[in-house]
Amino acid sequence: MHEPRYYTQLRNRIFLIIVSTSLIPVIFIAMVTGYMFHTSYKAKIVGYLSELIQKHAQSIDSFLANSVSTVTMITLSNDAKKLQDPDHLSNIISVLQTSHGGVFVDIGFIREDGIQVAYAGPFKLGMAFYGNSEWFREAIKNPYSISDVFLGLRGLPHFVIAVRLEDEDRIWVLRSTIDFAYFTKIVENIKIGETGEAFILSKDGNLQTSLNSPYSKDLLKSIATVVFSDSLGREREGYPIGDIYHTNPKHSYDKPVTLETRKTTYVFKKEDASGRSIIYVAVPLRMNNWALVYRQWDSEVFMDIYKARSIVFSVIVISIFLLTGLGWRLSNRVVERIKQVDREKDAMNDQIIEAGKLAALGELAAGIAHEINNPVAIMVEEAGWIEDCLRDLPDKEMEIYKEIAKSAKQIKTQGARCREITHKLLTFARRSDTLERRVFLNTLLNEIAILCEQRARYAKVKIEKKFDEEIPAVAISPTEMQQVILNLINNAIDAMETQCGGVLTLSTKFINDWVVLEVSDTGPGIPKSILPRIFDPFFTTKPVGKGTGLGLSICYGIIKKAGGNIEVESEVGKGTTFRIWLPPVQPPNSLIVGASPEDLSSIKMRN
């Protein structure tokens, strides 16, 4: 067993390995697929928005183009003289208003010096002077023009469409005011979601329609800069959304989205004053130096992406929790198992050390026995020599002769006793002897019973022997068989010792061509619940340090190796019987060959 710290570190290491190997792929896959989904979906939404705004820009363009052509039509179908007549203009404006709804508010005819010579409309603007107005300077220069929104003389935001006319050797300008509310309605006709809103910006960043969302002049200016600065590399403010342009070169910032109208769409993200990200989609309008701008909250535009992202995120969080818990449990179990194996290994080591001790002891005993055998042999032979010499004496009736003869005999007897002891010691010391031999169980049992007698007496256990004298020999290592029998006898004595004695019965039988050896005790018995486990290695009922739990499993191994079987019968309160079945050395049939009639009769009796 190692220190507890070792197991803690081991568990932590296993835990880390499990968690990292299982989590890294999950996170990696989530990140990769999340990123791919994110970029492709973003590109799609941006594409969709761009197209929408393009279409809207086209309709605004066509509205303006229509308005211009309507005014142009008037200049073509009326000469300057007619147009100088306010009544005629009144007729025209009423026709326009009926045919175009409320688009055209008023109409005025202006001389090249900027004096409005005729006017028809709701305001009193007759003979007004426009010579200093910027829109007029533009109108004089161009065949037609659309002005930016301005307050003008009437003090209301509006813009005019002006068409140049050359007649009576003079230059005239026919202008009509577009209804600002109407135009704003057209522009705002693209509301998407909660926060989508469209507006028009002039080149210098002035609003041409109304804008409900909060804004600043600087913001509008910067948007205008993005749209109207030369696309050939002049630095623009703002930045494209995410990296979507990089994944698709067609949509790169340097080559902005172009649709069939060949117009450039600018898509970019800016933060407003409160820090909220807002997506801007801007398209220049063809008819003027205006840009249609659409704005919507980033969070609304990409709502689905953010939803998906939060789902992926929660899945990852859940799997992190699950895998962490799983890893923790698994690593704990693995370490518990390792601990158990280590404990078993330690027990095994103890057993090996014990075995080594016994082997050393055996070797020592063998050495001593050998050393004693020689002197004892000499003593016995010398006693024999004394007897030899005594035989030469003439008078054998002398008292001294008898005494010496008796003494010599005693020496020989005691020598034989020494021989018994040393031989037994040597037999028991040879633990490593696993060679199979013909073993007569009765003889072996007798020898072992003598060995155990002393212990049995102390434990108040009576040993009874019921031997079948005619059992054949079995093929097994005598040392191992001795170990098995000793183990069973010791267990039996241990069991009976706890209840102050009992009877230990050793019996041999010959049943169905098997030699059967039984070791029975009248001990407390083994409970049924643990009976199936008693041959398991390391299973012990003895207190810690008393038993290794290996005894019976070693017995089991030895008997199985010899081709036999060992079984147990036990009843609580009555006692336990271990029964060993071993095959005889020769099959009974071959025994009959050359057997004496006595033998045959005994075999018949058995069968």
Partner 1 sequence: MQPQETKYPQRTLKVLIVDDEVAYVDVLRRRMQKRNVIVETANSGSEAIRKLRESSFDIAIIDLKMEDMSGIEVLKIFKKMDPDMPVIMITGHGSEEAAQNGITCGAYDYLMKPCDFETLMEKINKAVLNKRG
169 binds partner 1 per the rule CB under 8 A = no
426 binds partner 1 per the rule CB under 8 A = yes
User: Do the beta carbons of residue 73 and residue 165 sit within 8 Å?
Assistant: no
Task: Give me 134's structure tokens.
Answer: 């910027």
What lies within 8 Å, CB to CB, of 53 at 6+ separation is 190, 198, 265, 281, 282, 283, 292, 294
Q: How many Å apart are CA 153 and CA 122, to the nearest integer?
A: 13
Residue 72 CA: distances (Å) to CA of 24, 58, 89, 94, 161: 70, 20, 14, 17, 10
366 binds partner 1 per the rule CB under 8 A = yes
384 binds partner 1 per the rule CB under 8 A = yes
Which one of residues 84, 427, 548, 565 is an interface residue with partner 1 (CB under 8 A)?
A: 427
Instruction: Residue 269: name the closest of 237, 247, 291, 312 by CA.
Output: 237
Instruction: Give the number of other Cβ atoms within 10 Å of residue 440's Cβ.
Output: 16
376 binds partner 1 per the rule CB under 8 A = yes
381 binds partner 1 per the rule CB under 8 A = yes
369 binds partner 1 per the rule CB under 8 A = yes
385 binds partner 1 per the rule CB under 8 A = yes
77 binds partner 1 per the rule CB under 8 A = no
404 binds partner 1 per the rule CB under 8 A = no
Residue 132 CA: distances (Å) to CA of 129, 150, 204: 8, 13, 20
Q: Which is nearer to partner 1, 157 or 384 (CB)?
A: 384
Min. distance of Cβ 362 from partner 1 in angstroms? 12
Q: Which is nearer to partner 1, 338 or 425 (CB)?
A: 425
Which one of residues 108, 121, 415, 564 is an interface residue with partner 1 (CB under 8 A)?
A: 415
Strands (E), 121-245: 144-146, 159-167, 170-178, 197-202
How does DSSP classify residue 584?
B
Task: Give me 276's structure tokens.
Answer: 């909220």
Query: Candidates 78-86, 402-410, 413-421, 575-583 — which segment interacts with partner 1 by CB under 8 A?
Result: 413-421
433 binds partner 1 per the rule CB under 8 A = yes
382 binds partner 1 per the rule CB under 8 A = yes
DSSP string across 371-437: HHHHHHHHHHHHHHHHHHHHHH-S-TT-HHHHHHHHHHHHHHHHHHHHHHHHHHHHHHH-TT----E
Per rule CB under 8 A, count of chain residues that contact partner 1:
29
Instruction: Give the number of other Cβ atoms within 10 Å of residue 545's Cβ.
Output: 7
Q: How many Å apart are CA 4 and CA 21, to the nearest integer?
A: 26
Min. distance of Cβ 507 from partner 1 in angstroms? 29
Instruction: Give the number of other Cβ atoms within 10 Å of residue 598's Cβ.
Output: 8
Q: Which is nearer to partner 1, 171 or 366 (CB)?
A: 366
373 binds partner 1 per the rule CB under 8 A = yes
438 binds partner 1 per the rule CB under 8 A = no
Query: Candidates 54-62, 164-172, 381-389, 573-581 — which segment interacts with partner 1 by CB under 8 A?
Result: 381-389
* Sign, CA torsion 587/590/595/600: positive
Provide the β-strand partners of residue 145.
162
Three-state SS at 524: coil
430 binds partner 1 per the rule CB under 8 A = yes
Q: Which is nearer to partner 1, 250 or 423 (CB)?
A: 423
Amino acid letter at 524? P
Amino acid letter at 415? G
Backbone angles phi, psi at 113, to 5 degrees: -85, 0
377 binds partner 1 per the rule CB under 8 A = yes
How does DSSP classify residue 398?
-
Amino acid letter at 97? Q
Query: Candidates 149-157, 373-381, 463-471, 528-536 — which segment interacts with partner 1 by CB under 8 A?
Result: 373-381
Min. distance of Cβ 388 from partner 1 in angstroms? 5
315-327 residues labelled b (16+ CB within 10 A) or e (exposed): ebeebeeebeeeb
Min. distance of Cβ 3 from partner 1 in angstroms? 46
Which one of residues 168, 304, 388, 571 is an interface residue with partner 1 (CB under 8 A)?
A: 388
405 binds partner 1 per the rule CB under 8 A = no
Amino acid letter at 237? E
69 binds partner 1 per the rule CB under 8 A = no
392 binds partner 1 per the rule CB under 8 A = yes
Q: Which is nearer to partner 1, 384 or 557 (CB)?
A: 384
Q: Which is nearer to partner 1, 479 or 520 (CB)?
A: 479
315 binds partner 1 per the rule CB under 8 A = no
Footprint on this chain of partner 1 (rule: CB under 8 A): 366, 369-370, 373-374, 376-382, 384-385, 388, 391-392, 415-416, 418-419, 422-423, 425-427, 430, 433, 435
